[in-house]
């Protein structure tokens, strides 16, 4: 190992050491521990700390503080580099060893922050708007199949979610940020509702989804359950009659709707061959909630999110795969149960929520497999014809427990011995 390459103290591999100064001081590791400091380090206006400020007691204090001191040579003509000028270190000020820095020696500006330090251009807003883009496929399909009223339901749901979130933030004295999460919740809620649900009921469901399921827990990132599914569950329990009124796709956006059963409903009658039925269910020409009838449009949006790595492919794969395997084992029509109901929409857009699903890949597999098993149990032996919403909500409640037992063990971790083992 050459003197100009020093091992990183944070396990990050090899890092280039700072250039030696005029007096040949050895480089010090670039970490930020406070031991050995004499008094608090001084911060600049932008929150950064200069090496001179942290290492004010001298080289010994700098090494104790764990800050690498870079002695950057000045430019020709005695001018200091821009980084040194920003650091605010005047020429002739105290240097790393307590002496004057003088010419050829300046302090480097260090940004002191906690881990993790991995940076990515993606943001919460960016991911939310990508989800909105993917949801445009089933949204356009909903308006095409169920008419203009479907568009009114979607607009009502989205606007109510935004308004309720704004009011909730003002009441909690928190800043309102248009990050797109309220729009996603409004879209998802509208897409899982019956096509002719009254607009006032849509607004109530949206208000419950934001005010109770999201903001009451602390806002984005703190909610335990999926807000859109909480809103739908509330409407199902409170207005059971309205939530079971289904219509068939309309001939034109302005024509009147005709009542009809969904494929999973008791009154559904198969007409024609299985192939024709499968095709209608694939393209969306059947009864059901606004955005769950067209498996083709849902797949287009879902696969787009998988390709962009916005969602984890394991959840939809194991969710749908579990339903497929169990229905096949029970002797049921596998294709029918995969295309019917909200399985596709739930697997790609509901069960993949970052906040309410496990963090690890192993946890995601457990979550998706268990949710798929619950869907089969509710469809086959429950009183409800569909169980996607309640299966995801139930597994949302198990997410903290799954995270607890699937967190990877740190490298080199040794479990401490119990007191009984120590005494023995």
In a domain, 223, yes or no: yes
Q: Are residues 80 and 152 in the same domain?
A: no
Q: Is the pLDDT of residue 333 over 80?
A: yes
Q: Are residues 226 and 95 in the same domain?
A: no
Q: Looking at residue 370, what is its pLDDT?
A: 96
In a domain, 22, yes or no: yes
Q: Looking at residue 106, what is its pLDDT?
A: 61
Under the banding of pLDDT at 50, 70 and 90, the label for residue 119 is: low
Place of tokens 């568009």: 151
The whole-number average pLDDT for the span 343-356 is 93
Q: Are residues 398 and 294 in the same domain?
A: yes
Q: Looking at residue 363, what is its pLDDT?
A: 94
Q: List phi, psi (to 5°) of 390.
A: -70, -30
Q: Are residues 356 and 229 in the same domain?
A: yes
- Residue 259: CB atoms within 10 A of its CB come to 11
The three-point CA angle 187-188-189 to 5° equals 95
Share the mean pLDDT of the chain.
77
Under the banding of pLDDT at 50, 70 and 90, the label for residue 252 is: low
Residue 253, domain CATH:
1.10.3430
Q: Are strands 14-16 and 5-7 parallel, antiparallel or unpaired?
A: antiparallel
Q: Are residues 281 and 352 in the same domain?
A: yes
Q: How many residues does the chain have?
A: 424
Q: Which is higher by pLDDT, 5 or 109?
A: 109
Q: Are residues 174 and 283 in the same domain?
A: yes
> What sign results for the dihedral spanned by CA atoms 147, 148, 153, 154?
positive
In a domain, 348, yes or no: yes
Q: Are residues 53 and 94 in the same domain?
A: yes
Under the banding of pLDDT at 50, 70 and 90, the label for residue 118 is: low
Q: Is the pLDDT of residue 343 over 80?
A: yes
Beta-bridged to residue 109, according to DSSP, are 50
In a domain, 423, yes or no: no
Q: Looking at residue 250, what is its pLDDT?
A: 80
Q: Which is higher by pLDDT, 359 or 11?
A: 359
Domain that holds residue 91: 1-116
In a domain, 424, yes or no: no
Q: Is the pLDDT of residue 156 over 70?
A: yes
The whole-number average pLDDT for the span 345-366 is 93
Q: Which is higher by pLDDT, 383 or 266?
A: 383
Q: Looking at residue 105, what is its pLDDT?
A: 56
Q: Identify the weakest region by mean pLDDT among 49-58, 400-409, 413-422.
A: 49-58
* For the chain, percent of residues with pLDDT exceeding 90: 48
Bond from prior residue into 116 cis (ω within 30 degrees of 0): yes
Under the banding of pLDDT at 50, 70 and 90, the label for residue 352 is: very high
Under the banding of pLDDT at 50, 70 and 90, the label for residue 258 is: confident
Q: Are residues 272 and 226 in the same domain?
A: yes
Tell me the three-class secondary structure of the chain, residue by residue. Answer: CCCCEEECCCCCCEEECCCCCCCCCCCCCCCCCCCCCCCCCCECCCCCEEHHHHCCCCHHHHHHHCCCCCCCCCCCCCCCCHHHHHHCCCCCCECCCCCECCCCCCCCEECCCCCCCCCCCCCHHHHHHHHHHHHHHHHHHHHHHHCHHHHHHHHHHHHHHHHHHHHHHHHCCCCCCCCCHHHHHHHHHHHCCCCCCCHHHHHHHHHHHHHCCCHHHCCCCCCCCCHHHHHHHHHHHHCCCHHHCCEECCCCCCCCCEECCCCCCCCCCCCCCHHHHHHHHHHCCCCCCCCCCCHHHHHHHHHHHHHCCCCCCHHHHHHHHHHHHHHHHCCCCHHHHHHCCCHHHHHHHHCCCCCCCCCCHHHHHHHHHHHHHHHHHHHHHCCCCCCHHHHHHHHHHHHHHHHHHHCCCCCCCCCCCCHHHHHC
Q: Looking at residue 124, what is its pLDDT?
A: 82
Q: Looking at residue 27, what is its pLDDT?
A: 43
In a domain, 17, yes or no: yes
Q: Are residues 15 and 143 in the same domain?
A: no
Q: Identify the weakest region by mean pLDDT among 14-28, 220-234, 270-284, 327-341.
A: 14-28
Q: Looking at residue 411, what is its pLDDT?
A: 76
In a domain, 389, yes or no: yes
Gyration radius (Cα) of the chain, Å: 30
The whole-number average pLDDT for the span 217-237 is 93
In a domain, 421, yes or no: no
Q: Is the pLDDT of residue 3 over 60?
A: no
Q: Structure pTM?
A: 0.70
Q: Which of 94-103, 110-119, 364-373 has the highest mean pLDDT?
A: 364-373
Q: Are residues 165 and 102 in the same domain?
A: no
Q: How many domains does the chain have?
A: 2
Q: Is the pLDDT of residue 307 over 80?
A: yes
Q: Looking at residue 257, what is its pLDDT?
A: 65
C-beta of residue 105 within 8 angstroms of C-beta of residue 89: no
Q: Identify the weakest region by mean pLDDT among 39-43, 180-184, 306-310, 362-366.
A: 39-43
Q: Are residues 178 and 281 in the same domain?
A: yes
The CA-to-CA distance between both ends of the chain, in Å, stands at: 44
Q: Are residues 128 and 160 in the same domain?
A: yes
């Amino acid at each position: 190992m050459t003197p100009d390459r020093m091992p990183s103290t944070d396990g990050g591999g090899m890092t280039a050491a700072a250039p030696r100064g005029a007096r040949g001081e050895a480089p010090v590791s670039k970490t930020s521990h406070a031991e050995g400091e004499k008094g608090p380090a001084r911060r600049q206006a932008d929150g950064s700390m200069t090496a001179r400020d942290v290492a004010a007691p001298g080289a010994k204090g700098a090494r104790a503080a764990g800050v690498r001191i870079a002695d950057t040579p000045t430019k020709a003509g005695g001018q200091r580099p821009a980084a040194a000028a920003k650091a605010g270190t005047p020429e002739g000020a105290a240097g790393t060893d307590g002496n004057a820095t003088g010419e050829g020696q300046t302090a480097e500006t260090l940004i002191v922050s906690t881990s993790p330090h991995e940076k990515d251009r993606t943001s919460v807003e960016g991911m939310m708007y990508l989800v909105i883009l993917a949801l445009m496929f089933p949204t356009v399909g909903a308006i095409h199949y169920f008419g203009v009223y479907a568009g009114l339901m979607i607009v009502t749901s989205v606007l109510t979610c935004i308004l309720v979130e704004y009011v909730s933030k003002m009441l909690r004295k928190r800043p309102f940020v248009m990050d797109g999460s309220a729009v996603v919740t409004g879209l998802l809620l509208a897409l899982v509702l019956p096509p002719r649900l009254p607009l006032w009921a849509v607004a109530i469901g949206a208000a419950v989804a934001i005010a109770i399921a999201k903001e009451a827990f602390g806002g984005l990132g703190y909610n335990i359950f999926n807000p859109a599914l909480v809103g739908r569950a509330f409407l199902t329990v409170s207005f059971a009659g309205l939530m079971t009124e289904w219509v068939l796709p309309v001939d034109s956006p302005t024509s009147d709707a005709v009542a009809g059963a969904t494929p999973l409903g008791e009154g559904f009658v198969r007409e024609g061959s299985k192939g024709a039925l499968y095709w209608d269910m694939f393209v969306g020409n059947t009864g059901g909630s606004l955005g769950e009838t067209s498996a083709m449009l849902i797949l287009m949006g879902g696969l787009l999110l998988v390709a962009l790595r916005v969602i984890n492919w394991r959840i939809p794969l194991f969710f749908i795969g579990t339903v497929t395997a169990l229905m096949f084992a029970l002797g049921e029509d596998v294709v029918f149960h995969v295309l019917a109901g909200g399985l596709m929409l739930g697997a790609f857009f509901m069960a993949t929520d970052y906040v309410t699903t496990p963090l690890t890949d192993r946890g995601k597999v457990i979550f998706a497999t268990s949710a798929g098993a619950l869907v089969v149990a509710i469809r086959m032996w429950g009183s409800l014809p569909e169980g996607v919403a309640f299966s995801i909500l139930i597994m949302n409640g198990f997410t903290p427990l799954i995270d607890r037992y699937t967190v990877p063990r740190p490298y080199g971790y040794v479990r401490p011995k119990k007191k009984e083992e120590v005494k023995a």
